[in-house]
Amino acid sequence: MKYCIVNGDDFGAGRGINRGILEAHQRGILTSTSLMVNMPGTMEAVRMARATSSLSVGIHFNLTNEGDGPVVTFDDADACAAELRLQLQRFSDWMGCLPTHLDAHHNVHRDPRLRPHFLEMARAHDVPLRENSPVRYFSSFYGQWGGQTHFEQIDTSSLVHMLETEVGEGFTEISCHPGYVDADFDSCYAVEREAELATLCDPRVRQALHDLGIQLIGYRDLGQILKEAS
């Protein structure tokens, strides 16, 4: 089987981002999202998530200075570990459960100074960590590089081509950043978010998934599928 998780990063970053992610889930192909617990829209995102049981919600650890995020020195191992624990505890307290998956803003979990802490947390709670689980991570559905916007990378034909060529047997996560950028979230990735949202909600994408035999799942489904396959 070909399984695809479509995961929206930055849930909680702002009201417009929250609205876009929920819309991409309800009207489009988004199955999963990653919550930031220290941003202006966090509590609204928590309320939305708790009212939307079909949406898999992981944690998007924020260790930079965006929003109310801390400035953590990556060389300070104890401070980093403590901040990760704090953010996970906030998630658990507010959501009433563990996250369905772990990842990090700007993919800082790849940093060799931080990676051991992320891996330890993933093992301790038996939760998949991006790029360290049976799920292949695909990040090229992104419409900006070199300081320039590239709408052609995030239009419908491009996403369909990605589904055809990048989603093979097993599990693939396609990361995305849909949303509406409001005044409460200042981001250099702005107009691209609305373009992503339009593509994710295009009926031609869902038709392509059907034609290609790709099954949409959320991260919460991963464990049960793996268990049944073993």
| CA dist., res. 33 & res. 173, Å (int) | 11
Residue 116 pLDDT > 70: yes
Kindly report the backbone phi and psi dihedral angles of residue 11, in degrees, each rounded to the nearest multiple of 5, phi listed first: -60, 130
In angstroms, what CA-CA distances link 170 with 61, 192, 222? Answer: 26, 29, 11
| CA dist., res. 15 & res. 185, Å (int) | 8
Q: How many other β-carbons are positioned within 10 Å of the β-carbon of residue 191? A: 12
List the one residue out of 35, 111, 102, 105 whose CA is nearest residue 73: 111
Identify the weakest region by mean pLDDT among 141-145, 217-221, 226-230. 226-230
List the one residue out of 143, 141, 142, 138 whose CA is nearest residue 166: 138
Residue 142 near residue 177 (C-beta atoms within 8 A): yes
Q: What is the pTM of this model?
A: 0.95
Residue 3 near residue 27 (C-beta atoms within 8 A): no
Kindly report the backbone phi and psi dihedral angles of residue 155, in degrees, each rounded to the nearest multiple of 5, phi listed first: -90, 175
Q: Which stretches of the chain are DSSP H helices?
A: 15-27, 42-50, 77-95, 115-125, 156-166, 191-200, 203-212, 219-229
Domain spans of the chain? 2-229
Looking at residue 193, its pLDDT comes to 97
Residue 77 near residue 113 (C-beta atoms within 8 A): yes
Looking at residue 64, its pLDDT comes to 81
List the one residue out of 162, 99, 160 whose CA is nearest residue 136: 162
pLDDT in tens, 117-153: 999 999 999 999 999 999 999 999 999 999 999 999 9
Torsion of CA 4, 9, 14, 17, to 10 degrees: -40
Residue 151, both tokens = 């709408």
Looking at residue 72, its pLDDT comes to 84
> In this structure, which topology does domain 2-229 adopt according to CATH?
TIM Barrel (3.20.20)
Looking at residue 188, its pLDDT comes to 87
Identify the weakest region by mean pLDDT among 46-55, 185-194, 199-208, 220-229. 185-194
| CA dist., res. 176 & res. 188, Å (int) | 15
Half-sphere exposure at residue 222, Cβ-oriented, CA atoms within 13 angstroms: 27
Kindly report the backbone phi and psi dihedral angles of residue 140, in degrees, each rounded to the nearest multiple of 5, phi listed first: -85, 0
| CA dist., res. 230 & res. 226, Å (int) | 6
